[in-house]
A and B are shown apart, each in its own frame.
Chain A
Amino acid sequence: GNSVTQMEGPVTLSEEAFLTINCTYTATGYPSLFWYVQYPGEGLQLLLKATKADDKGSNKGFEATYRKETTSFHLEKGSVQVSDSAVYFCALSGFHTGTASKLTFGTGTRLQVML
């Protein structure tokens, strides 16, 4: 079956530091890949997505590239801000029809950015 593995947190960084959160996946076919962000007390929001190999998703300074050869979708940001403190979830959506686009989530990585 499908699975997503994320690096464990918390990740604690100083403001303006470089961020990488690793994500690898196991899936059949060509899934779509997503990063969701959850701010305290809120639901999940889509941060970025990529639907095929070598696609780069980007939003709000965050980027992730769909690497089929390494089955990875690592999240990066060049300069984090305090407002980026949140929990980040990597997820994949199955390729096959009839799956109702069910998402498989990683366990989440908490990011704390300090002044």
Chain B
Amino acid sequence: NAGVTQTPKFRILKIGQSMTLQCTQDMNHNYMYWYRQDPGMGLKLIYYSVGAGITDKGEVPNGYNVSRSTTEDFPLRLELAAPSQTSVYFCASKGTESNQPQHFGDGTRLSIL
């Protein structure tokens, strides 16, 4: 009963480094999302996808890229890490019925130093 799995759970990067945050789901959900959570700011949508091969920008996409080659996986790429990207990142997935909830992973805590 894995649900949404994110790796790694914690990571420290130096400014300018790159990395990929992994997200996979086993519920055959078409919709997937990446959010960042900053203290006192709630969750902001970075990118989302409505199915394999289809991605779109959310509220705060700058500095990030995504791909969706399979239904299960939705990795988030940081190309040139900046201190402003220090945050907790959450991946979520959802079925296509309109009133279904989003299911969240446990998050990746990322620090850029």
- Interface size of A in residues (CB-CB distance below 8 Å): 21
Q: In the complex, A89→B42 CA distance in Å?
A: 8
In the complex, the answer to whether B105 meets A43 with C-beta atoms within 8 Å is yes
Q: In the complex, A105→B41 CA distance in Å?
A: 9
Which residues 65-115 of A sit at the B interface, judged by CB distance below 8 A? Answer: 89, 93, 100-103, 105-108
Give every chain B residue within 8 A of A105 (Cβ-Cβ): 42-43
In the complex, the answer to whether B101 meets A102 with C-beta atoms within 8 Å is no
Q: B62 interface residue, CB < 8 Å from A?
A: no
**Which residue on B lies nearest to A94, using beta carbons?**
B98
In the complex, the answer to whether B90 meets A46 with C-beta atoms within 8 Å is no
Sample (7) of A-B pairs whose CB atoms are under 8 Å apart: A43-B90, A43-B104, A43-B107, A44-B104, A51-B98, A105-B42, A107-B41
